[in-house]
Structure 1
């Protein structure tokens, strides 16, 4: 295989991408990352999922929590709180440096794509990390507490409000970032990471030209399930599915992706009964680097078989 594309959100997807760059030449891997979570906070442009990929692939991530930087300090946040500033979104001192740089570069007219490539290059990341779009797309949560920006729902309210629907403001008018469609059309395999389908993958699919490219690519499209035994490894996927009236199982996820999907990698103890879909089983929990490599190789093996 030459080109491998991964559609990904943050923590769960970053694990798969990390496995991939240890399983194959990193230069063959293109991660197309959700930016529906991006937002402005304290005047700074924050790209949580892109940052998680950058930190994880450069070896700078906080391994225990899966997000943020290892060895982080919190003097900025402490001083902010002392002044009465909003401290619900955790901004570590080293993390702030990345947000300040990104915001300054955007103000100079540089694109999110170029800024992400700059940081990846500074940190020696061999894979290509592309934002899904340089346009603004905002994931909005329709909840029993009203309409919420994603980070207000996810971080400030800790996913407590019941979700009634999810929408992606700006998606219909957005265009993919340079290189996104080309990577999908030229790929030998397209993987959908075990990220939350509704919060992390749907924003990518809501960009019209990305959805079209996925229907046109000759590459097999293989998803890795975010569920193990009917539970999400991390995050609110299972809670969300229940609130949307869906059975918390792999059938619901496969049907959600629909005709885009050719293959589905699920946990050894789980099932999926959607007709016409090629299913492989493997232990999908990714704790160690060996786990991540093993799951990445299994997804590539399934894709190669489908090709």
Structure 2
């Protein structure tokens, strides 16, 4: 498929699909629009977990064994921080810390998050385009049985244990789409728009909450194909299934398609979910479990093939 491929992504699963896309088509033709709803200030630094996960993955620096952060990381900073009684619930490796320190310095100097990530991509020879969903802060919060929790407190410190009753995105109404985000979604040169198998409620919904992005997806010329985050009715990792249960939604491909109603044209479903309630919209099946690079390439090809057979 020639032309630009755009993927909406957040988290490890989304980064895996983005990597597969960069091997399925020329990497310079891939644009990733990335969730920044879980960005936060910690220890005086601006932390962008989903952006950094994608950056590490596409630059070959991710820790495949641990599943997050940088490979061959060292932890001297955290060790000293603990001796001082500092907050150690959010792990910052030494190499990772350099990324946050430099990003914070550039943001404080007046640069935008989009500019900083473009600089980082060039420095590490990432051919794909990485676009934050917005340069304005948007914060994901969860209302839980323990009270309101910001995303990282819920996800990292409490390990998703609290029962969620609602998800909200503070600042989204005032945010603007990042530069080029709307242009990439609506360009006639864009041949397919994919929604990665990221958590719909915590990784994709923050992107859709930024004014203008949902409308751009609905009016885009290119077909929009989502990859279901469910594998055999469950999530590979993370709280997708738990959230669906707590928010009263069945963990089925049909529920995922219904969640994206009005913006997607087709859904790629894991082959283990053939017997589950399926969407009324167009759909196809594939083994969507992405453990190896070959797996990621397989899912990328399946999503692109489905997009090529789908019209708006």
What TM-score, normalized to structure 1? Answer: 0.99
Point out where structure 1 has 5 or more consecutive residues left out of the alignment.
none
Instruction: Provide the aligned length of Structure 1 versus Structure 2.
Output: 306
Tell me which residue corresponds to 1:265: 268
1:301 is the counterpart of 2:302: no
Distance apart, 1:274 and its partner CA = 2.5
Alignment of 1:33 onto 2:59 = no
Q: Tell me by how many angstroms 1:259 deviates.
A: 1.5
Alignment of 1:67-78 (within 5 A): 67-78=68-79
Cα deviation per residue 1:67-113 (whole Å; 9 max; x = unaligned)?
10000000000000000000000000000000000000001000000
* Residue deviations 1:100-158 (CA, integer Å, cap 9, x gap): 00000001000000000000000000000000000010000000000000000000000
My pick for the range that moved more, 68-77 or 260-269, is: 260-269
Deviations 1:178-216 (A, max 9, x none): 010000001211000000000000000001111111111
Q: Is the partner of 2:302 in helix, strand or coil?
A: helix
Normalising by the residue count of structure 2, what TM-score does the alignment of the two structures yield? 0.97
After TM superposition, the structure 1 = structure 2 runs for residues 1-307 of structure 1, keeping only pairs within 5 Å, are 1-186=2-187, 187-271=190-274, 272-275=277-280, 277-307=281-311
CA drift at 1:65: 2.3
In 2: Cα distance, 1:285 partner to 1:57 partner = 19
- For structure 2, list consecutive stretches of 5 or more residues without a partner in the other structure: none
Asked whether the equivalents of residues 145 and 165 of structure 2 are also in contact (C-alpha less than 8 Å), the reply is: yes
Partner Cα distance (2:153, 2:128) in 1: 31
Instruction: Supply the distance in 1 between the matched residues of 2:282 and 2:255 (Cα, whole angstroms).
Output: 15
1:273 and 1:241 map into 2 onto residues whose CA distance is 16
